[in-house]
Chain A
Amino acid sequence: MVRTMNGRLIGLAAVCFVSGMLALSGCSLSYSSKSSSDSSTASSKSASSPFTSSSESSSPDKTKQYQEDVADYTTAYVRSSKGDYDAFQRGLGKIAARHGISNWEVQPITYYAVGVGLKKANLSDVQYETFKRNFAASDFSKMQDIQEGYEATQ
């Protein structure tokens, strides 16, 4: 009888242990479809459905999303990098590509969004003007679009 009791206790303990580990595991068994060294994805699981797209939204939302992404990227970039314009443009190209845009240079909204991002970055006037001129390659209409985004942001 003692052996039976011990056996039952051991069984109960095992069940508690397993249950506890599973309950505590939280995101420890999170799905990872790709290795973290594959930088092309930090995306949610989407491997088994044709119906997935994390960017399915109506037309006005897509434009807004693109603008926000460009602005956020600009802010993060100018605050934390040395101002390499080639690298900035490459990053911009990747963001544009995620929105299905290949030729971001001819989209006025790109420059407007950059202006928004520059404002959020709280640059000095000199830094802002320098970036604006260099990025727009002194193109007047592009600089104007940047300025509009800058002034429209509080």
Chain B
Amino acid sequence: MSERSVCGFSSNRQRYAAWRRPVVFLLLSVLTTGSAAGVGSPLLEYLYIDSSEGTSSGGHAAIRFGDEVFHFQHFEPGVLRSVKDDPHYFRYLYGFLENRTIHASRIDVSGETWQLLRDYFNRRYLIQKQQFDVLQSLRDDGALIRLLLRRKRTSDRSSASVAEDSLRLPGVGLFFSDHIGPSNHLSAEAVPVGFSVVRTSAVLHAVRRRIEQRYGTGFLAARMGQIRDRLRGLKPTGYDRALLSPSEDRFSAMSDSFAQDYEDLMTALMSLKALQLALPLRSDAYAVPRPDLFRLAPREIERLARYRQQLQNDLVLLANSRRPDWGMAFLVGMARLIVIDQSVRSGRLVFLDTFQKGDGRIAAEDVMQFDDVMREQLDDLKAKLQEAKAGLPASQEMTELDYSRLEHWSNRYLELYTGIEQQRPIRIHSGHLLPTKSAVRSDLIVPELSRYELDRALAESESFHHSYFEMLKRLYRYNLFTKNCVSEIFRTIHGALESHLGSKDVVAEAVRVEAESVARLGGYLGAEGIHFIPFVSAHSVDQRYDVVASEEWPSFRTAALRKAYEKDAPALVFLRESNVITSTLYRHNPDDSFFIFFTDDAVLPRPLFGAVNSVAGLGQSIVGLFLAPFDGGRVLRSGAKGFLFSLPELLFFNIRKGSYRYLPYAWAAKG
């Protein structure tokens, strides 16, 4: 069957192969086209994202500063949070997976204005992040105190083996298994005398020797003793009342978290225990991959060997560090040292597993169904891995950043490779993670706190958690009209200008902010009014700010359609791609509501297509009613959503675009 087959179902590979390269070319040209703004002016863009049925059905907005995109998202339970993304990742999520066109309005600003606004957006982002970290700390404090109380109430020591009296310790799983039971020889509370493990790590023996040479033979035992003493004497210190007055402009007043202190100390103790016993890595903590891609060239081996030496030196210093969370870094460092040593000796890259328990997975059925997409992505990961392996100039020494990149791409590549080859689920995670495999341990050192002290600490922790959470919800509460993804962008811009002006007179300040906005951005847009509607805001920005260029980042399907129209007869393309049954550019996504016709590119027939879609949605809803007791209402929901999002089409409005579950990230990243 040729690529030009009429109304036929082509294979998945043929479907995508037909227009893949032209689409990439088109995307490249769109994403890399320079604007009409002056050469050298910093990139500041207001982004409007088309509506669609998934997230942000009315559209979305964001602001881009060079290689950072800030936007605001609605999180449960009704708070608006700042999010920062890489522009390619942003394009990938919204333009590709959600299949929405993004409209970029480039605003001409001076370097100083750009920096002022960018720094302020980032500061707000960091502050909010810290505030929610504090919220988590308060919750963790409560959880730990409850655990300690349960232990106090248990008279029979062995019943402390139940899982709820155990704690998950990050990083500890690199060397220790889960331990939910009576204490054993690996207990934190006892140093085994004459205990021998069948296999020990020569690498850790060497590290221990160096530490003892530097700090003395009694150093390890003394440090472990100090940590145990601190654990036993650890007490919750209460909270600053200033914590209950969070502000968007400053970090929350929380220095010590009882749970964090406890975790840091237990992790440090376990790290020294691992060193003391020279434990080997757990077999599930690392990978010894077979593909030839992981063979190391002599130059790469040499570089790793030098980094191995540097890492050993760093670990010796780290053993005496005063930073509170040094234990985790020590565990990771020791684990990395072991695998790097194995890599150098074997000539093949061995690396730690960075995936975490609880990471999401792509189901095996999807791996098989989207085999072509997975393989395309695998090619890209291969290129990134090769670059990470060989990318450093010979004269440059490897740093932890460099090694971490190598570890990151190795994990991603191997996971996808193995998933495709074995047709098994693929683990996924977002961002760059440290290899901090955790373990659940019940052999904990219990602080010497009375039940009265614990009860009082728990009451205070719960009270503060509840009040602080309410304060944060109030501070960041989402509101359709006054505090949403659009209004917050303008409010933050005004906040930046306000902070720069520094006046305390509110009325005069408002006037000056407006004047400042006009001077720096070419105009002023209040956070009030109907600008809260995303597509209205985009139009307002174009009208009032100093917009020097506008650019469209076509959605995935739009770009593909344009190329298809260039290749094939328009009437044929229109008929073929107008519906989900014969379309070669869309693959059914169960996350989408039920619909028959695409209406985003069909204006005149939109009401007719919308009518068909509405009937289809209604029909599916009726079927779903009968199926509800068996499928939990899944078909009913899909049909109802389908009907709902089809209604605007009757009046020539389009919201739904169809979305994609899997697309190669490389297509967005190439821009």
Residue of B nearest to A56 (CB): B669
Q: Are A18 and B54 in contact (CB under 8 A)?
A: no
Of all chain B residues, the one with the shortest Cβ separation from A80 is B250
Closest to B313 in A: A106
Q: Closest B-chain residue to A17, C-beta based?
A: B647
Chain A proximity mask over B348-392: 1 for CB below 8 Å, otherwise 0: 000000000000101000000000001001000000100000011
Contact between B128 and A42, CB atoms less than 8 A apart: yes
**How far, in angstroms, from A103 to B76 measured CA to CA in the complex?**
34
* Per-residue B-contact encoding for A1-23, CB less than 8 Å = 1, 0 else: 00000000000001110110011
**B622 interface hit (Cβ, 8 Å):** no
Which one of A28-36, A124-132, A143-151 is at the B interface?
A28-36
**CB <8 Å contact, A44 and B89:** yes
CB-CB nearest in chain B for A26:
B58
CA distance A6 to B51 in the complex (A): 31
For B377, what are the chain A residues with a Cβ–Cβ distance below 8 Å? 50-51
B127 contacts which of A14, A76, A106 (Cβ < 8 Å)?
A76
- Evaluate contact between A89 and B533: CB separation under 8 angstroms: no
Interface assignment of B56: CB less than 8 Å from any CB of chain A: yes
CB distance from A105 to the nearest CB of B (A): 6
Report whether B648 and A15 are in contact in the complex, using a CB–CB cutoff of 8 Å. Answer: yes
Identify which of residues 399-416 in chain B touch chain A, using a CB-to-CB cut-off of 8 Å. 399-402, 404-405, 407-408, 412, 415-416
Q: Establish whether residues A81 and B401, one from each chain, have CB atoms under 8 Å apart when the complex forms.
A: no
Are B430's CB and A53's CB within 8 A?
yes
Are the CB atoms of B665 and A39 closer together than 8 Å?
A: no
In angstroms, how far is the closest chain B Cβ from the Cβ of A54?
A: 4
Interface size range on B against A: 35 or more
On chain A, the residues within 8 Å of B427 by CB distance are: 50
Q: Is A107 an interface residue (CB 8 A)?
A: yes
Asked if A66 is at the interface of the complex by the 8 Å CB criterion, the answer is yes
- Which residues in A have their C-beta under 8 angstroms from that of B323? 89, 93, 105
Residues of B within 8 A of A102 (CB): 328-329, 332-333, 400, 434
Cβ contacts under 8 Å, A49 to chain B = 97, 362, 428, 661-663, 665
Partner of B56, one of A18, A30, A63: A30
Residue-wise, chain B 248-285 has the 8 Å CB interface mask toward A (1 for contact) of: 01110111100010000000000000000000000000
Return the contact of A27 from the options B56, B84, B127 (Cβ within 8 A). Answer: B56
Which residues of A sit under 8 angstroms from B332, Cβ to Cβ? Answer: 102-103
B400 x A100 contact (CB < 8 A): yes
List of A residues within 8 angstroms of B67 by Cβ: 57, 61
A-contacting residues, B615-660, CB 8 Å: 644-645, 647-648, 650-651, 653, 655
How many Å from the CB of B651 to the closest CB on chain A? 6
* Least CB distance, B252 to chain A, in whole angstroms: 9
Q: B132's closest neighbor in chain A, by CB?
A: A39
Task: Please give me the residue from chain A that is nearest to B56 by CB atom.
Answer: A27
Chain B residues near A59 (CB, 8 Å)? 391-392, 401-402, 405
Whether B119 pairs with A120 at a CB distance below 8 angstroms is yes
Question: Which chain B residue shows the least CB distance to A86?
Answer: B324
Cα distance A56–B221 when bound, in Å?
Answer: 42
Question: Are A43 and B431 neighbours in the complex by a CB distance under 8 Å?
Answer: yes
Q: Does B294 contact A (CB under 8 A)?
A: no
B434 and A26 contacting across the interface, CB-CB below 8 Å: no
Query: Are B431 and A55 in touch, CB under 8 angstroms?
Result: yes
- How far does the alpha carbon of A36 sit from the alpha carbon of B73 in the complex, in Å? 10
A103-B93 contact, Cβ under 8 Å, with A36-B77, A57-B67, A59-B402: no
Query: From residue 31 to 80 of chain A, which have CB atoms closer than 8 A to chain B?
Result: 31-32, 34-40, 42-57, 59, 61-63, 66, 72-73, 75-77, 79-80
| A–B complex contacts, Cβ < 8 Å, 25 sampled | A18-B648, A19-B647, A19-B648, A19-B653, A29-B57, A30-B56, A31-B55, A32-B75, A32-B76, A34-B76, A36-B77, A36-B476, A42-B128, A42-B129, A44-B93, A47-B360, A49-B662, A51-B92, A52-B89, A53-B431, A100-B400, A100-B408, A100-B432, A105-B317, A105-B321
Q: Which 6 A-B pairs have the closest CB atoms?
A: A100-B404, A80-B250, A51-B665, A27-B485, A39-B132, A19-B648
